[in-house]
Amino acid sequence: MSSEFICSRCSKSSEPLTSPPLGGALGMQIQQQICQACWAEWVQQQVLFINHYALQPADPEDRKKLREAMKDFLGLTAAPNS
């Protein structure tokens, strides 16, 4: 992977993630398309999302809601389901 790329969320030339933040195809897509700064922004935002909607990450339905919110936040609407 090159040392810089254009992030699909912020459209800036940036450093890519050093490894996929999640397993599977979705994690690979995030690594290939999202910069470190945008991923860090999502990590902070997900705490607010979990608290606001009182999500339980152990619940599969809540994990699905969180995954969909992440795809929306990162602009990955056509992202793989994994």
Tell me what pLDDT residue 1 has: 46
Higher pLDDT, 37 or 4: 37
Check residue 5 and give its pLDDT.
87
Domain membership flag for residue 58: yes
Q: Calculate mean pLDDT across residues 40-47.
A: 97
Asked if residue 13 is part of any domain, the answer here is yes
Here the CATH number for the domain that contains residue 11 is 1.10.3880.10
Q: Is 6 helix (H, G, I), strand (E, B) or coil?
A: strand
Query: What percent of the chain has a predicted confidence (pLDDT) above 70?
Result: 90
Task: Give the integer Cα–Cα distance in Å for 12 and 60.
Answer: 34
- What's the total number of domains in the chain? 1
Instruction: Give the domain range for residue 41.
Output: 5-74
Strands (E), the chain: 5-6, 13-14
pTM of the model: 0.85
Predicted confidence at residue 82, as pLDDT, reads: 52
pLDDT score of 81: 58
